[in-house]
Amino acid sequence: MDEIDYNIRSALSTDRSRLENLIHFGSYIHQHLDWKPPLDWIGSKPYLLLEKDGDLFATLACPPDLPEMTWIRLFAANSLINVSRAWRLLWEATFRELSRIGKIQVAAISLQGWFNELLEGSGFEHTDNVVVLMWERPTPIPEPGSIKISIRPMMLEDLRVIEKIDHDAFGMVWKNSLESLELAFQQSSLATVAESGNEIVGYQCSTSSSMGGHLARLAVKTSMQGNGIGYLLLHQVLSQFSSQGVKHVTVNTQQNNTASLALYLKAGFALTGESYRVYQHNIIG
């Protein structure tokens, strides 16, 4: 097929069922691990479709959640087009759209080798790896030190303060928007905050399924880090999951985040050997 015959346009709400079929039956699928499913981003830009004669061949979505940062949330292509061609056409159009925003960082966590090749061929830099750790019952959970910090359930009205803690604690790539934090809270099976007096100084959100528990997010106010607050939150999560009979709890962190790795290893987590590449591309509009 000649490239001039392809049509690239923004996804519309009426495209939802076609996109569902592409994700389900496509030969090449990358979905970002997110609180918001890829199809829920329809209507946000850039979210592009690659078509010919009305048939959908591929899609690429990476609408920003924060002004200076976005993730590749979805790339999917069927077997009727060369995946490298589909990616190149869609990425070039996406790059142009993002360039109009101004300076923005695009990131991706790649779970598959073919996607690594596409990203590297488009100028993305491999900056880090996400590693997976697991705690298995009945691994002992060392008791935390004695600190004057209380733990209570998270409430919706806490999210504004939590957003500030989150943004201060993480680099740009890993920050969560207020909307993402609200989705995390809504989807959590266990969400708690740490308080010093009446001040929130840390938080965590965890999920659970038939497969076990998962610590999805943990952050401590930067001025309070190093005082055992993160471990206190983690200890409470593991203790509660253990009391519920949960056999496995997982957590993901960056390979170069030595503080997080030390925290999880202290609590009895062990590296599983799973590792996923993190890629970044800086666009200067």
Compute CA 51 distance to the chain's CA centroid, rounded to the nearest angstrom: 28
Contacts with 222 (C-beta within 8 Å, 6 or more apart), sequence order: 168, 169
Pick the more confident residue, 285 or 102. Answer: 102
Whether residue 92 lies inside any domain: the answer is yes
Whether residue 203 lies inside any domain: the answer is yes
* Total Cβ atoms within 10 A of residue 169: 18
Asked if pLDDT for residue 1 goes beyond 50, the answer is no
pLDDT in tens, 194-234: 999 999 999 999 999 999 999 999 999 999 999 999 999 99
Q: Answer yes or no: do 109 and 149 share one domain.
A: no
Containing domain of residue 186, as a range?
A: 131-274
Give the pLDDT band (50/70/90) at residue 175: very high
Whether residue 13 lies inside any domain: the answer is yes
Q: What is the pLDDT of residue 5?
A: 87
Q: What is the pLDDT of residue 2?
A: 52
Q: What is the pLDDT of residue 275?
A: 97
Mean pLDDT of 80-108: 96
DSSP 72-114: --EEEE-TTS-HHHHHHHHHHHHHHHHHHH-SEEEEEEE-SHH
Q: Which residue has the tokens 């290893």?
A: 265
Mean pLDDT of 240-247: 95
Whether residue 255 lies inside any domain: the answer is yes
- Residue that is last in its domain, among 61, 91, 123: 123
Q: Answer yes or no: do 18 and 136 share one domain.
A: no
pLDDT in tens, 139-154: 999 999 999 999 999 9
Give the pLDDT band (50/70/90) at residue 185: very high
Whether the Cβ atoms of residue 202 and residue 224 lie closer than 8 Å to each other: yes
Q: CA 67, CA 247: separation in Å to the nearest integer?
A: 40
Whether residue 284 lies inside any domain: the answer is no
Mean pLDDT of 117-139: 97
Give the pLDDT band (50/70/90) at residue 3: low
pLDDT in tens, 258-269: 999 999 999 999
Give the pLDDT band (50/70/90) at residue 59: very high
Give the CATH number of the domain where residue 138 resides. 3.40.630.30
Whether residue 103 lies inside any domain: the answer is yes
What is the number of alpha carbons within 13 Å of residue 211 lying toward its C-beta? 4
Q: Answer yes or no: do 143 and 249 share one domain.
A: yes
How many domains, the chain? 2
